[in-house]
Amino acid sequence: MAVQSEGGGKDDLKTHFATREGEYKLMPLSEYSKPTRVAYNGQANPPVKVSFVRVDDGSSSPDRLCFNVGRELYVYVYKGVRKAADLTKPVDKRIYKGTFPTCHDFNTATVSSDSVLLLVGFTLGQVQLIDPIKKEISKLYNEERLIDKTKVTCIKWVPGSHNQFLVAHSSGQMYLYNEELPSGQTPPHYQPFKHGEGFSIFTCKTKSTRNPMYRWVIGQGAINEFAFSPCLRYLAVVSQDGHMRVFNYNSMELVGTMRSYFGGLLCVCWSPDGKYIVTGGEDDLVTVWSFHEKRVICRGHGHRSWVNVVAFDVHTCLVCDEENCEYVSRDVESVAMHNHLQQPNANHVSNSSVNSGLGGIKVRDARSDSSQQNGSHLNSNRNSTEIPVSAGVHYTSYRFGSVGQDTDLCLWELTEDVVKQPCGKIRTPGGLGANTAASGGAIPRSNSVPNNAQKINSVGNDVGHHHTPEGTTHPIQSAVLNATNKFATLSVADRKESQDKKEHKRNFSLASRNSDRVGLLSKSNHVKPVDDAVKLYGTPACPRLDEVPVLEPLVCKKIAHERLTSIVFREECVVTACQEGLVYTWARPGIMNGIMPYCGQLKIDGFG
Amino acid sequence: MKIRGKEGSKGANASQLEKEIGSEQFPANEHYFGLVNFGNTCYCNSVLQALYFCRGFREKVLQYKQQQKNQKKESLLTCLADLFYSIATQKKKVGTIAPKKFITRLRKENAEKKSSSKAAATADNPTVKPDPTWVHEIFQGTLTNETRCLNCETVSSKDEDFLDLSVDVEQNTSITSCLRGFSNTETLCAEHKYYCEVCCSKQEAQKRMRVKKLPQILALHLKRFKYMEHLNRYIKVSYRVVFPLELRLFNTSDDAFNPERLYDLVAVVVHCGSGPNRGHYISIVKSHGFWLLFDDDIVDKIDASQIEEFYGIPSDMQKNSESGYILFYQSRE
């Protein structure tokens, strides 16, 4: 099998791909893996995840990369796209017995030149805290597995916190730990703290505070991933039960729910402005959910298998400032100034204006940003902690990527015409879909037209027909949303139940039913089994296939032999990893051609 | 992680299963019985177990048993009814049973039909018995076959019923994607040209098959045995094809009767081994919320997370695998 990955089928793998901003190239010398390649036999291994951190050590390579492969965990100096990886000298290397590392996270709030805290979760439920630089610290949590015996599926420091972290398990539970608190020698006794539809939260019932500080019981199956919003106020959690639940993290209230088309949801991420959440799952789809409207706005079909990871490319989202994005030719410098003021991490570009029709819109491209903010910015969009929610910065187009079990990388673009589509069109009870209308009942000539799916380009002819994208303002849109919802509620009796949560806010006529449910829940501290997959279908939480646009990927390329398990967008490159334990670096367009004006400076250290 | 191995399975006897499930949790009126292997009958045992745990199917077979009490004429169906009845009325909750009568009858009928000896073909036979209508009620769906003449653009469509769908498999895909592939548009040209009634001549045409009526239980057969012309024999394709516990179809026709049906995976027949003429069949089934693995006379409780061991393998070199072969999805409503 080693033969296969080295030679053999290598030819069918893409080593470069092009988007409209240019060509992305695989950097063969920047490939990270175990120091010695051995025959791969890792089918049953946990997925290979990568974490980054920037350490201000005054060197020219301040980035550190951590990845797990099999029972091993490696931390390397990440040398980016220009310098070859040195696999012989890992910063840290650990081999575990009996339990496999599954996920990890660096603490970006406490990192210094000689110390960084790294959390590692394991298949048997344990959590370890290590310092791969100092190598002094090694603390274990849930060591005796008294708190949870199941696999750790996602682990993250609470953003900005020096000592608190969240650990999700495949048991469907999530725990808040404080690094400094003891775990106790006995299994924790819990008392109910808060609950709502599909979740309950408990605290530890002890005199002295101990770990875990909180226990969240969410949904019915494993929790697969969670992500904090860029403003840090909200937490999105995706589960094997097919739900994405968004909580207000501090008040612990459920503020929104989404349901997959079918099957478990495997991954989740927020747009850089916090307006949208993208999920991927076992329905082979990526699904975009609007945080403000609390509805699915589109789905994306490109993968031929389950979607393992989704991530926004913060560096390739189109921005313009709020007042001026509709006007043509805005002065580049002043846009830059404005954004600098509003958004400490924003970066701008003058060299690549993209969409012809819209003036003043620039590719946000961190590469051309000369110096000041790089330090705070490098831990992928997920770890960024300082981006305020859309304060003055107005995104007109979002780029995100996804990788899946089909070994494909897909890039997606979420444009304004999709974002501003009104909510699901009103269907006749018989359900003649948009597809019928669009294709006229005939078989499309091209194989590329997916069944039952509108092409993104055809969207304009369908739902959004009457609304020009620019003319549709948010109030109007929500009015349409309201009206549509009400219509749906009135006309289709069996959908009432699933709508009542939404209706509750505007229309108290259904309140009695709602309070019944709350009453039921309060009787038991357990999470009430929810079989709402069928009920939610056809609602904004899980629209029918023809009720929302179906996006096609900008790019869809096979880039590995084994299923892909990670994707991280960085300023200079995109980093992917696959089940085999190979971490690839893809240079962004222009980076290796020497045409970037700031190439030289990027090698200079000591930012921030 | 517990990996299923032959040795491990042999060690687990029936009472251990009872212990593992726990007397409190053991579902009332449920029986988990292994089936004795009479020599190369694992293919049959695995399908029998899968069918036994298809809710509607078992009910109907037991009803049939009640109705046919006085009828003496033996058929494959009466043998099946007797077997199901005998499992369902056992005093013990777990154990083994010998499906002797059923196997004898099956062998007799197979010999009569002189049908192909391929396990692949025979494995589906229990679902395609002489036509009692309730079998169709449960398993039958309708495909609509649309053909568009590229000359006159006329679309003609023809419906055909199915009891299961046979789908081609590809490396590192999902069953969802394989089903999309099943309904891909194909162009009929050259020697495969289509006779167009409007043009009154052979024309190039585009053809597409989509699901018009979704069955109560959707049986999906993965074409893991592929005929290789240069080898002049069938080989096994062990491709990794993931299958979710919950499924909806994307390849439904525009006029589909119930396109949004939501299915739950209830049983999987798994082929273990490297080729069609050797190897072993086992099944995994869902019963009362947990998963069981039936390996002839051995029954094990498994964790849902172990199902991923039966997706297949991503290496194209290796043929040997324990991989899902027939999937049974039951409609939730």
Say whether residue A306 is in contact with chain B using an 8 A CB cutoff: yes
Q: What is the pLDDT of residues B200-230, one digit of tens each?
A: 999 999 999 999 999 999 999 999 998 888 8
Q: DSSP 3-state assignment of A72?
A: strand
Q: Residue A492: which pLDDT band, with cuts at 50, 70 and 90? A: very low
Cβ-contact A243, A262 below 8 angstroms: no
CB-neighbour burial class of residue A378 (10 A; exposed 0-12, middle 13-18, buried 19+)? buried
Measured between CA atoms, the residue of chain A closest to residue B184 is: A447
Q: With bands split at pLDDT 50, 70 and 90, how would you rate the model's confidence at A450?
A: very low
Helix/strand/coil percentages in chain A, nearest 5: 20, 35, 50
Query: CA-nearest residue of chain A to B318?
Result: A1
pLDDT tens for residues A251-273?
999 999 999 999 999 999 999 99
Chain B: residue whose CA lies nearest to A564: B172
Q: Does A563 touch chain B (CB under 8 A)?
A: yes
Within 8 A of B309 by CB-CB distance, chain A residues are 44
Question: For position A604, what pLDDT does the model report?
Answer: 34
Residue A212: asked if its preceding bond is cis (omega within 30°), the reply is: yes
CB contact (8 A) between residue A406 and residue B172 = yes
The helix/strand/coil state of A20 is: coil
Yes or no, beta carbons of A304 and B251 under 8 Å apart: no
Percent over 70 (pLDDT), chain B: 89
Asked whether the predicted pLDDT for residue A390 surpasses 80, the reply is no
| A454, pLDDT greater than 90 | no
Tell whether A308 is covered by a domain: no
Q: Pick from A541, A543, A550: which is nearest to A243 by CA?
A: A541
Closest CA to A240 of A267, A215, A216: A267
A533 and B262 within 8 Å at the Cβ level: the answer is yes
So what's the pLDDT on residue A393? 67
Which residues, other chains included, contact A181 with Cβ-Cβ below 8 Å and sequence gap of 6+?
A: A209, A210, A211, A213
Give the range of the structural domain holding residue A169, as residue numbers without chain letter: 49-294
Helix (H) or strand (E) segment spanning residue A308 = strand A307-312
Residue A593: per-residue pLDDT = 59
Q: What is the pLDDT of residue A174?
A: 97
Which pLDDT belongs to residue B286?
Answer: 96
If you search the block for the tokens 């796209």, which residue do you land on?
Answer: A81
Q: What residue of A is the nearest CA neighbor of B247? A: A262
* Phi-psi sector, A318: left (phi>0), alpha (psi -120 to 50), beta: beta
**Considering the domain boundaries, does residue A133 fall inside one?**
yes
Q: Give the pLDDT band of residue A351 (cuts 50, 70, 90).
A: very low
The CATH number assigned to the domain holding A77 equals 2.130.10.10
What is the per-residue pLDDT across A171-221, written as a single tens digit (0 to 9) for each? Answer: 999 999 999 998 778 899 999 999 999 999 999 888 778 899 999 999 999
* Backbone φ, ψ for residue A279 (5° rounding): -125, 160
Active site residue B280: yes
Residue bearing the bigger pLDDT, B293 or B124: B293
Q: What is the DSSP string of A237-280?
A: EEETTSEEEEEETTTTEEEEEEE-SSS-EEEEEE-TTSSEEEEE
Query: In terms of pTM, does the model score above 0.95?
Result: no
Which helix H or strand E contains A339, and what residues bound it? helix A332-342
Query: Cβ of B183 and A451 within 8 Å?
Result: yes
For residue A424, the SS3 value is: coil
Please judge whether A443 and B316 are an interchain contact, meaning their C-beta atoms are less than 8 angstroms apart: no
- The pLDDT score that the predictor gives to residue A523 is 36
Q: Are B209 and B144 in contact (CB under 8 A)?
A: yes
Give pLDDT tens digits for A309-322: 999 999 988 776 54
Angle, CA of A177, A180 and A185, to the nearest 5°: 75
Asked if the structure places residue A603 within a domain, the reply is no
Report the residue from B153, B180, B240 with minimal CB separation from A451.
Answer: B180
pLDDT(A522) > 90: no
C-alpha A253, offset from chain centre: 21
Interface residue B247 vs chain A (CB under 8 A): yes
Chain B positions touching A542 (Cβ under 8 A) are none
The more confident residue out of B116 and A31 is A31
| pLDDT for residue A320 | 64
Say if CB B249 and CB B259 are below 8 A apart: yes
**pLDDT confidence of residue A157:** 97
Higher pLDDT, A91 or A430: A91
Query: Does residue A435 sit within a domain?
Result: no
Backbone angles phi, psi at B46, to 5 degrees: -65, -40
* pLDDT of amino acid B20: 87
Contact B262 A1 (CB under 8 A): no
* A263 interfacial to chain B (CB closer than 8 Å): yes
Min Cα separation A299/chain B (Å): 13
CA distance A55 to A78: 11
Residue B296 contacts residue B42 (beta carbons within 8 Å): yes
Structure tokens at B208: 């597409």
Minimal Cβ distance to A305: which of B1, B155, B173: B173
User: What's the structural domain count of chain A?
Assistant: 1
What are the pLDDT digits (tens) for A528-569? 444 677 889 999 999 999 999 999 999 999 999 999 999 999
Strand, helix or coil for residue A292: coil
Which B positions 108-167 lie with beta carbon below 8 A of chain A?
A: 146, 148, 153, 155
CA dihedral B244, B250, B256, B258 (to 10 degrees): 30
Chain B residues with CB inside 8 Å of A1's CB? 315, 317-318
Contact with chain B for residue A450, Cβ under 8 A: yes
Q: Which of A122, A305, A558 to probe by mutation at the B interface, max B CB count within 10 Å?
A: A305
Cα radius of gyration rounded to whole Å, chain A = 24
Task: Indicate if the pLDDT at residue B42 is higher than 60.
Answer: yes
Structure tokens at A45: 């291994």
Please give the pLDDT value at position A323: 47
Q: What angle do CA A419, B262, A301 make, to 5 degrees?
A: 35
Q: Which residues pair with A375 in a beta bridge?
A: none
pLDDT confidence band for A372 (50 / 70 / 90)? very low
Residue B282 CB neighbours (<10 A): 24
Highest-scoring range by mean pLDDT, A385-394, A423-432, B95-104 = B95-104
Residue A505 pLDDT more than 60? no
State yes or no: pLDDT of A527 exceeds 80: no
Catalytic choice (B42, B79, B149, B196): B42
In a domain, A337, yes or no: no
How much is the pLDDT for A208?
Answer: 79
**With 0-12 CB in 10 A as exposed, 13-18 as middle and 19+ as buried, what is A150?**
middle
- Domains of chain B are 26-111+134-331 (3.90.70.10)
Interface of A with B in 495-534 (CB under 8 A): 533-534
User: Which residue in chain A is spatially nearest to B169 when comparing CA positions?
Assistant: A304
Place of tokens 């921030």: A608
Q: What is the pLDDT of residue A424?
A: 53
Task: Categorize the per-residue pLDDT at A406 as very low, low, confident or very high, splitting at 50, 70 and 90.
Answer: very high
| A69-83, A87-101, A102-116, A486-500: segment of lowest average pLDDT | A486-500
Phi, psi at A315, each rounded to 5°: -85, -10
**Is the pLDDT reported for residue A439 higher than 60?**
no
DSSP 8-state symbol, A112: B
ipTM of predicted assembly, 2 dp: 0.90
Contact (CB, 8 A) for B73 and B19? no
**Who wins on pLDDT, A332 or A409?**
A409
Instruction: Give the per-residue pLDDT at A109.
Output: 93
- Tell me the per-residue pLDDT of A104-145, one tens digit each, with 9 for 90 and over: 999 999 999 889 999 999 999 999 999 999 988 889 999 999
H helix or E strand, kind and range, residue A489: helix A474-491
pLDDT at B15: 76
Report the distance separating Cα A250 and Cα B332, nearest Å: 37
Query: Which residues between 224 and 243 in chain A have a beta carbon less than 8 angstroms from any beta carbon of chain B?
Result: 242
Q: What is the pLDDT of residue B130?
A: 52
Please state whether beta strands A564-569 and A223-228 pair in parallel, antiparallel, or not at all (unpaired): unpaired
Mean residue pLDDT of chain B comes to: 87
Is residue A371 predicted with pLDDT exceeding 60?
no
Residue A66 scores a pLDDT above 80: yes
Q: Which pLDDT does position A441 carry in this prediction? A: 37
Higher pLDDT: A367 or A101? It is A101
For residue A583, tell me if it sits in a domain: no
**For residues A357-383, average pLDDT:** 38
φ, ψ (nearest 5 deg) of residue A489: -65, -40
Tally of CB atoms within 10 A around A603 = 12
CB burial of residue A348 (10 Å; 0-12, 13-18, 19+)? buried
Nearest CA in chain B to A544: B260
* Residue in the block written with tokens 């960024």: A384
- Structure-token match 């020219």, residue found: A60
Q: Is residue A239 part of a domain?
A: yes
- Stretch B148-164: mean pLDDT, rounded? 93
pLDDT confidence tier of residue B314, bands split at 50, 70 and 90 = confident
Q: CB–CB of B173 and A242 under 8 A?
A: no
Residue among B136, B199, B221, B280 flagged as catalytic: B280
Give the confidence band of A474 by pLDDT, cuts at 50, 70, 90: very low
Q: Does A170 touch chain B (CB under 8 A)?
A: yes
SS (H, E, C) chain B: CCCCCHHHHHHCCHHHHHHHHCCCCCCCCCCEEEECCCCCCHHHHHHHHHHHCCHHHHHHHHHHHHHCCCCCCCCHHHHHHHHHHHHHCCCCCEEEECCHHHHHHHHHHHHHHCCCCCHHHHCCHHHCCCCCHHHHHHHCEEEEEEEEECCCCCEEEEEEEECCEEEECCCCEEHHHHHHHHCCCEEECHHHCEEECCCCEEECEEEEEEEEECCCEEEEEEECEEEECCCCEEEECCCCEECCCEECCCCECCCCCCCCCCEEEEEEEEEEECCCCCCEEEEEEEECCEEEEEECCEEEEECHHHHHHHCCCCCCCCCCEEEEEEEEEEECC
| Paired tokens of A446 | 């091209």
- Interface membership of A262 toward B (CB under 8 Å): yes
Q: Does residue A216 lie within any of the structural domains?
A: yes
Distance from CA of B195 to the nearest CA of A (A): 17
Where is pLDDT greater, at A38 or B233? B233
A334 has a pLDDT exceeding 80? no
A312 Cα distance to chain centroid: 7
Decide if B196 is catalytic. Answer: no
pLDDT for position A528: 46
In the 8-state DSSP scheme, what is residue A443? P
Nearest to A585 by CA among A16, A62, A36, A91: A16
DSSP A602: H
Provide CB contacts within 8 A for B218, sequence distance 6+.
B141, B165, B247, B249, B263, B328, B329, B330, B331
